[in-house]
Structure 1
Amino acid sequence: MQEPIRIGVFQSLTGAEASFGQEVMKGIEMAMKEINAQGGVLVKWNKKNSLRCPLEIIVRDNQSKPGETSAIARELISRYRVVALIGEVSSGRTLEAAPIAQRYHVPLLANSASNDRVTKIGNYVFRISYRDSQQGEVLARYIYLLGKRKAALLVDSSRDNSATMADSFKKQFIALGGDIVERQSYNAHDKDFQAQVTTIKNSGADCLFLPGVYTECATIMKQARSLGLNLSTFGGDSWDSPVFVNVAGKAAEGAVFTNSFSADDPDPTVQSFVQSYRSKYGQHAKPMALAVTGFDALKLMVNAIERAKVDGPDVNLKDPGRLKRFRHAIRDALAKTCNYGAVSGSITFDKNGDPAKAMVLLRVCHGRFEFIRKEPPPQ
């Protein structure tokens, strides 16, 4: 029997952000089922000769904890001899794995990590999603077009992506003619935001930019409502969790955030995925963006493996030299990705391993995420 092609996956399957990782795995499992139903991964070494290898994913849970992912990445690379890595939602945890992937020359495809620094680690690191700075720019343009001119920012100072989004938002909003009238901060896992909310309430702001994770943002919105702060509120893709609206309740109504996908997008590729998702998880199930980017990550990685040029018919990944060459060939194939038709949008990687993709704007309406429109990527 042919040796399987092993891809390592690290996600937050338990802990504070378990809902993120669990949703990602739904998409990855869908992709794996499709690939293996077709006979596995098609490995070619010339025009006339090829073979199909079964796909195996080695999944590890980092428990949503900092410090776990670096050890997991080493284990996947050294013990399981994976040809590539996929992960994560959290930029911080992805940044733990990225230097290790780069050091060992193992291609890493981040399914949702949006911190600008992720792909700057090196040429073996790529991402499916847009960058945090792009989210800030898109939201600044959108909010300005709504007629808002005085923005307040409430930033998670313990997470780089929150600060990056806030800084890019500020730069773009001021360039358009707006003003930042207040900037407050908090730390992850804080529970009491009344002081920050009160300061913002007295600032004269006409909108609130809240570039944090759903776990804190939902609580902030509830406390803001109880204190009489009723500003139009905007955020990034870290709001994309059913827990967000369950906790925030009516306080989240009308809030708008960026994302990479909406199940209500009429695009035929999107609707085909939605139907496949419902066939597997139930007719009333609604895929979230994280399932889609997980699906896209595994499908694109296998596509790159199938485009990679290998040295001969014996794909012997137990041989260190062959494994090294195969990983390098996959990296080269990923770098050449052009107009790949992903569910989350067409992917062409730039020289940094970043895609230029449209973003989706979603509004919380009656406890669900309502599709507004797609916004083109910043130039």
Structure 2
Amino acid sequence: MKKSFKLFSLALSGIMLVSLFSGCTKNTTASSSNSKQINIGAIFELTGQVASYGTSEYNAIKLYIDDVNKSGGVLGKQINLIRADNKSASDESINQATKLTVQDKVVAILGPATTGNTKAASSIALDKKIPLITPSGTSFDVTVDSNTNKVKGEIFRTCYTDPYQGKVMGEFAAKDLNAKTAVIYIDDKSDYSKGLAKSFKEQFEKLGGKVIDQEAYVANDQDFKSTLTKIKGLNADVIFVPGYYQDTAKIARQAREMNINTPLLGGDGWDSPDLLKIAGPAALNNVYYSNHFISSDPDSTVQNFIKRYKDAYGTEPDAFAALAYDSAGMLIQAIKNANSEDPAKITDALSKLKNFKGVTGTISIDDQHNPIKQTVIVELKDGKQTLKKKISAE
């Protein structure tokens, strides 16, 4: 009964919010063909559990848009980037997407960072027919409706999917590390974690390996030693931990303290400047994870981006920043290709985007609104990223 009341209250709040914003017409900064600016929304996790991701992504987008504006804008207009903090929460993602589309009249949305928050914001973007590009929402059903298997028309992503990177890591474990057995340790409340685990298991076992156990942890837990004791006793060849950095860092540190020196594998959720701060360098050896970008890549596009990001923010960008930078670039390119700020035309141009040269590779959009591009596998040595392997686009 309490749950039903809570859901009713949230729904009522959403209706009131839409009504409120619908009435706020005097102070809007609506983008139109007669205005001197084009409004683009940026919804990110600027506070809350995964603020590291959202802050990196928003900073990179701002860097890109600032450069566009300094160069004269697009279609002869300046980009008005409207910042929105979803506080790392799905309900706030809905609220902010509603504000951006109803009150601010944005022609497109960049963000959010995580799968759950992207799905929440996407519900509004789809209803309002506004294109949305998530830099890092990796779940397969971000862009494809899992019930109907139909592509969500206005939703795009710059990252590859959970099934893809889980498959890549399953293959890496079996072929590159010659692993025969694996344990999977997941956050079973996270779509991201579950998605990677499922595809890792399928690929690893397809190649002759065996997942001998799957354990679960609770996000934001502090003590993982009980479960790690059980995992240690299984003596698996690899441990796959597809989670976000604030948990995986603690898991890595506690595992190494317990003399579990087994290779730890993960996905792009491991990537954060805070990983090293939380885990410490000693824990971050024999760690491998799939990623979109690595700072040691000598490509001039990558190195120019790193320099400019460091000059602007005093820190080196992570893969989330690189993905967001490319998201902004893809959107601006789509506006140019469409020669229009009409959301429908921008959506069409995004669906046809080919060979966009980005920081995370040369990107083309496939028929499920996913990018076709390269993947990298990162190896950590005392917490420092080294390039283990590049995998070409499929």
Q: Same fold (TM over 0.5)?
A: yes
Q: Point out where structure 2 has 5 or more consecutive residues left out of the alignment.
A: 1-33, 146-151
Runs of 4 or more, structure 1, over 6 Å off, are: none
Q: Does the 8 Å CA contact 1:8/1:57 hold for their aligned counterparts?
A: yes
Q: Could you report, residue by residue, the CA deviation over 1:142-195 in whole angstroms, capped at 9, with x for unpaired residues? A: 111221111110011010111110110000001111111111111212222222
Q: Does 1:262 align with 2:278?
A: no
Supply the AA of the counterpart residue of 2:357. G
Aligned match of 2:112: 88
C-alpha distance in structure 1 between counterparts of 2:70 and 2:154, whole Å? 29
Instruction: From 309, 312, 330, give the equivalent of 1:280.
Output: 312
The residue identity in structure 1 corresponding to 2:84 is R
1:302 counterpart residue number: 332
Structure 2 residue identity aligned to 1:13: L
- Tell whether the 8 Å contact from 2:184 to 2:214 is kept in structure 1 after alignment: yes
1:4 aligned to 37, 41, 45, which one?
37
Distance 2:297 2:358 in 1: 14
Of 204, 213, 217, which aligns to 2:244? 213
Aligned-pair Cα RMSD in Å: 1.5
1:246: how far off? 1.1
Q: Deviations over 1:205-237 (max 9, x none)?
A: 111000011111111112222323221111111
SS in 2 for 1:67: helix
Q: CA deviation at 1:268?
A: 2.3
CA–CA separation in structure 2 for the residues paired with 1:172 and 1:352:
21
Residue aligning to 2:269: 238
Matched residues, number: 353
- Select the structure with the greater relative contact order (CA < 8 A; seq sep ≥ 6): 1
- From 132, 136, 161, the equivalent of 1:112 is 136
Match of 1:138 in 2: 168
Percent of aligned pairs with the same residue?
A: 34
- Amino acid in structure 2 at the alignment position of 1:155: I
1:253-290 residue CA offsets vs partner (Å, 9 max, x unmatched): 221111111110122221222232233334xx322111
Deviates more, 1:25-34 or 1:79-88: 25-34
* Structure 1 equivalent of residue 260 of structure 2: 229
2: CA distance, partners of 1:232 / 1:120: 33
- Is 2:79 the partner of 1:58? no
TM-aligned CA deviation for residue 309 of structure 1: 4.6
Q: What is the identity, as a one-letter code, of the residue corresponding to 2:322? A: V
Residue 365 of structure 1: how far off its partner (Å)? 1.5
What TM-score, normalized by structure 2, do the two folds share?
A: 0.86
| Counterparts of 1:105 and 1:66, CA distance in 2 | 20
Structure 1 residues 276-355: aligned runs within 5 Å: 276-282=308-314, 285-310=315-340, 326-355=342-371
The superposition leaves residues 23-79 of structure 1 with CA deviations (integer Å, 9 ceiling, x where unpaired) of 11221121012101111112xxxxxxxxx0111110111111231100110100000
What is the DSSP-based 3-state SS (H/G/I as helix, E as strand, rest coil) of the residue aligned with 1:291?
A: helix
Q: Distance in 2 between matches of 1:376 and 1:149?
A: 25
For residues 310 and 235 of structure 2, what CA distance do their matches in structure 1 show? 46
